[in-house]
Every structure is written in C-alpha cells, then in structure tokens.
Amino acid sequence: MFIKIKRIDKNLPLPKYETGGSVGFDLLAREKTLIPPHQIAWVPANVIVETPPDYMLLVTLRSSTPRKKGLLKPHGVGIIDQDYCGNDDEIKIQVYNFTNAPVEVARGEKIGQGIFVRIDKFQWQEVDDMGNKTRGGFGSTDLKQGD
C-alpha cells in the first residue's frame, strides 16, 4: 500500500522501517528542540502523512527514549486521524522531560515511531441494562477463584 507523505525539510530522509520485522517506522526531529526540566514540549517530526481510510496512525516514543533521553510521552500515545493531513498538519511528538536538567533533541535524531493500525467504526446501541456480566471492578482480574 502506498501512503502519501510530505517532508517539511527535504534534507532529512523519509521515515523508514529499520528492519524487516519492524512494526513501526522511525520519526526524526526536524529541528533541535530543548525541553526544560519537568516541562512538556512538542518535537516536530518533519512529515505530514495521509492516513488511509480504515486506519489510524499511532505515534509513540521509541522504547529507548525514556532511558536515553529522560523523556516520556505524557499520554502514552498520539493518534493521527485520517483528516489530519493538510499542508500545515506536521506530526509533532509531545514529550515530557522528567529529569532535573534540560534535555536536547537534536535535528535528525530518531525521537518517535509511527504505527498504522486498522480500525473499525461502530454505531451505538443504547440500552438501559447491560445484563448480568459484572466482573467485579478495577483490579478484579488479580483475584483468583476462592480468594
């Protein structure tokens, strides 16, 4: 499947899957970004992607980023909708610096990953009673039968 993509800075390479088994493609920082301690910042990822129908684009950090950089994604993942693909809709990666020092993300540095995920859309069927399917609340799967 071919996906439309626009690079903001054509001196940086297109995202790529690093190995044959890679599920995500690496996203590169378009510009140097300095994230102050205990602050949230946006790192521009240099691309606009037209997500195809029946898919969403999930954006997350690389697994090594918290350990190497001291950065986390505040809400875990980012979701790029199918209609976020205009000329000004550059993907940006939200990061939180959990360290006590400024963190620099260098231009061209691999900072995140994109993963296309197939989705379905559903219609609601409102009911007044969900039946007798109570599981027991949060943490209930930790309980064993007979506990």
Segment 5-19, tens digit of pLDDT: 999 999 999 999 999
pLDDT tens-place string over residues 92-122: 999 999 999 999 999 999 999 999 999 999 9
**The most confident of 79-83, 127-131, 134-138, by mean pLDDT:** 79-83
Domain assignment present for 137: no
Number of independent structural domains in the chain: 1
This prediction's pTM: 0.83
147, pLDDT greater than 90: no
- The answer to whether residue 98 is domain-embedded is yes
Domain membership of residue 69 as a residue range: 5-119
E-strand ranges in the chain read 5-7, 25-28, 33-35, 40-44, 47-49, 55-61, 71-72, 78-80, 92-97, 103-105, 110-118
In a domain, 130, yes or no: no
Q: Are 7 and 43 in contact (CB under 8 A)?
A: no
Query: Is residue 134 one of the residues assigned to a domain?
Result: no
Contacts of 2 (CB under 8 A, 6+ apart): none
Q: Which two tokens stand for residue 32?
A: 């140097």
Is 133 contained in some domain?
no
Residue at 124 is within a domain: no
Task: Identify whether 146 is part of a domain.
Answer: no
Residue 51 belongs to domain with CATH number: 2.70.40.10
Apex 60 CA angle, 14 and 20, nearest 5: 55
Note whether 8 and 44 are within 8 A (CB). Answer: yes
Query: Is 76 within a domain?
Result: yes
